[in-house]
Amino acid sequence: MQTDPLKLRIAHLYPDLLNIYGDMGNVLALERRAMWRDIEVETVRIKAGDSICADDFDLFFAGGGQDNQQIIAANELIRNGAELMRAAQMNKPMLVICGSYQLFGKYYLTGDNQKLRGISILDIHTEAGFKRFIGNVTAVCDFLPVRTIVGFENHSGLTHLGEEVEPLFKIKVGNGNNGLDKTEGARYKNVFGTYLHGPLLPKNPHFCDYLLQLALDVKYKCSIPLLPLNDQIEYYAHESRICAKY
């Protein structure tokens, strides 16, 4: 039986480069929802030049960024790609959003035809389109206790999924991966890529808890159920963002 205090270490990848639309709020939500349950959290901000060891972390997060920042981040991710892949193979949860979602795939072809090589943890590829997809998104999923997911997208990249990943969510309102196939994001093992900013996790506490639960299960190799929280206000926020058309 687990008697020592529970502890999680989060790697926040390149917050200096990849942090738009309040993506930092995702890390705050993970920290707070863990700490409110007496789970200790230590977040390490990974900067350009740092080396990552997969064993040092229980959960990984990376946010979105524009093309200029993505070029720098792409090189950094490649330097640490083998360790990030090792963490993914160990089933450690990772949430990567928009710009970093694209870079966790095989490649991202920018609007000025630069091919940024990704780290290929996700079997996806992305090419810049001619239109920006901007707006609120309502999606659904089949692996969370609350089916709806809400977020905000702003991207021109069109992402296509290969056979090694499954779509993360199904679009009800919005564009998602490519505006055509109604898929949003991608999942491989416990690696979750999505276009949804928001920040995503404060607006979707059920997804936040899902990631924390995975991190605990993988770290402690047994199921430690998360204590319930008084989070009615968070769920009001979630419901208020569900698109009326849904």
Q: Which residues bind ligand GLN (CB under 6 A)?
A: 20, 64-67, 70, 98-99, 154-157
Q: Residues 125, 155, 197, 238: which is the catalytic one?
A: 197
Q: Residues 12, 98, 125, 206: which is the catalytic one?
A: 98
| Closest among 125, 137, 206 to 171, alpha carbons compared | 137
**Residue with smaller CB distance to ligand GLN, 8 or 26:** 26
**Residue with smaller CB distance to ligand GLN, 65 or 81:** 65
Shortest distance (Å) from residue 190 CB to ligand GLN: 22
Tokens of 39: 């789970």
Shortest distance (Å) from residue 64 CB to ligand GLN: 3
Q: Where are the alpha helices (DSSP H) in the chain?
A: 24-35, 67-79, 81-89, 99-103, 200-203, 205-220, 232-240
Contact between residue 158 and residue 178 where contact means Cβ atoms under 8 Å apart: yes
Q: Where are the alpha helices (DSSP H) in 40-127?
A: 67-79, 81-89, 99-103
Shortest distance (Å) from residue 118 CB to ligand GLN: 12
Active site residue 197: yes
Active site residue 222: no
> Residues, the chain, total?
246
**Residue with smaller CB distance to ligand GLN, 98 or 139:** 98
Q: Which residues are catalytic?
A: 98, 197
